[in-house]
Amino acid sequence: MAGRIVLFGATGYTGRLTAEALVARGQRPLLAGRSGDRLAALAAELGGGLDTAVADVAQPQSVFELVDGGDVMLTTVGPFARWGDVAADAALAAGAHYLDSTGEPPFIRRVFEHFGPRARQAGIGMVTAFGYDWVPGNLAAGLALRDAGEEAVRVDVGYFVTGEAGMGSFSGGTKASVAGVMAAPAFAYRDGALRTVRTADRLRNFTLRGRELPAVTVGSSEHFGLPQAAPALRDVNVYLGWFGPFSRPLQAFSLLGAGAMKVPGASGLTARLAERLVKGSTGGPGPEQRARAGSHIVAEAYDRHGEQLSTVQLGGVEPYTFTAGILAWGARRAAEAGMLESGALGPLAAFGLDELEAGCREAGLTRV
């Protein structure tokens, strides 16, 4: 029998979209969050008499009581650097598979390095960052590496948003998470190992539809997930192309920021300032605004001489629609069929390349 899907964070912006996506796929998630009233209102809106449960990270036991062995813990409770550990611990203690919506590099690293060995021991799969950040790049790179064959040792991934995309196209939760990330070091997979580097330490252009578009490096799940799936890889570079002409100033800002962070107390101060400036749970783009935006992901595989061997591009829906759809797909798949391995897994190791491509298609992203 399939385990239950426990959606923790159901009343948040992404949680609600994910609840809708699950119900649209015929699933009956347990809706969990902090407010019984808001959960009841959401359950009534979704129909079908879904069960609800009140749980708050501030009372860890309430989160531990949400899941049993064989369930799937699907959490959208963020920022994860602040709130993420309890749901991961609860999944581990119960023997439940785990998926989350984080995009935050420090938390991704924590899942792979801190929770991963315990997940392997417990025989469960933990898939972090199973949203727009950073599933599409794992898929695009997986396809590019398959096309490239055995010579490939490096892969570059670029993420771009298309259509109408401004600050209003990000949810309060995303802004809160990004604010925290600015204050933390990032990482990259270089020369066959994970290295701590600053965000935006590299900049390059990608050619999309005949246009040269700049993008800067970021820490993401590809740095862990791709070497797992393709052990011959020596370098994984992931670039964010959301900033257009601001990419180079951002790189300078990041360099200055890295220097400033060496001043004692500066990083805590920046994090506190970011928290004050950016509040979570302030909603996000509505359906019309989401419909006006889209996304484009490119992956390029290279051989050891730097010759490009293959390129793959994905395109389709904007980040939040994709995130809700792929989280719903992954949770259903994990509940019905489990994951391919145990431990902290990249999307490819958890589900396989062909399955993941089918899941992304269902969530609105296809090869273009």
The residues binding ligand NAP (CB under 6 A) are 9, 11-15, 33-35, 56-58, 76-80, 83, 101-103, 129, 131-133, 171-174, 177, 280-281, 284, 319-320, 323
The alpha carbon of residue 105 and the mean position of all alpha carbons in its chain are separated, in whole angstroms, by: 9
* H or E element in which residue 222 lies: helix 222-229
**176 or 309: CB nearest ligand NAP:** 176
**8 or 302: CB nearest ligand NAP:** 8
**134 or 302: CB nearest ligand NAP:** 134
| Beta-carbon contacts of residue 301 (< 8 Å; ≥ 6 apart) | 141, 144, 145, 147, 148, 152, 154, 155, 308, 309, 310, 311
* H or E element in which residue 97 lies: strand 97-100
List b or e across 236-250, with b for residues whose CB sees 16 or more CB atoms inside 10 angstroms. Answer: bbbbbbbbeeebeeb
In angstroms, give the least distance from the CB of 32 to ligand NAP. 8
**108 or 301: CB nearest ligand NAP:** 108
CA distances from 121 to 105, 116, 158, 343 (A): 24, 9, 34, 8
Residue 86's identity, in one-letter code, is V
Question: Cβ(23)–Cβ(48) under 8 Å?
Answer: yes
In angstroms, give the least distance from the CB of 37 to ligand NAP. 10
Residues 360, 362, 365, 368, Cα dihedral to 10°: 100
In angstroms, give the least distance from the CB of 136 to ligand NAP. 9
In angstroms, give the least distance from the CB of 281 to ligand NAP. 4
**55 or 152: CB nearest ligand NAP:** 55
Taken as a whole, the chain contains a residue count of: 368
**80 or 302: CB nearest ligand NAP:** 80
In angstroms, give the least distance from the CB of 79 to ligand NAP. 5
Strand partners, 27: none
**35 or 196: CB nearest ligand NAP:** 35
**101 or 247: CB nearest ligand NAP:** 101
In angstroms, give the least distance from the CB of 135 to ligand NAP. 8
Question: Cβ(55)–Cβ(38) under 8 Å?
Answer: no
In angstroms, give the least distance from the CB of 180 to ligand NAP. 9
Cis status, amide bond into 242, omega within 30 of 0: no
In angstroms, give the least distance from the CB of 236 to ligand NAP. 18
Burial bucket for residue 111 (CB in 10 Å: 0-12, 13-18, 19+): buried
In angstroms, give the least distance from the CB of 103 to ligand NAP. 4
**154 or 171: CB nearest ligand NAP:** 171
| Beta-carbon contacts of residue 115 (< 8 Å; ≥ 6 apart) | 88, 92, 126, 344
Distance CA 29, CA 46 (A): 11
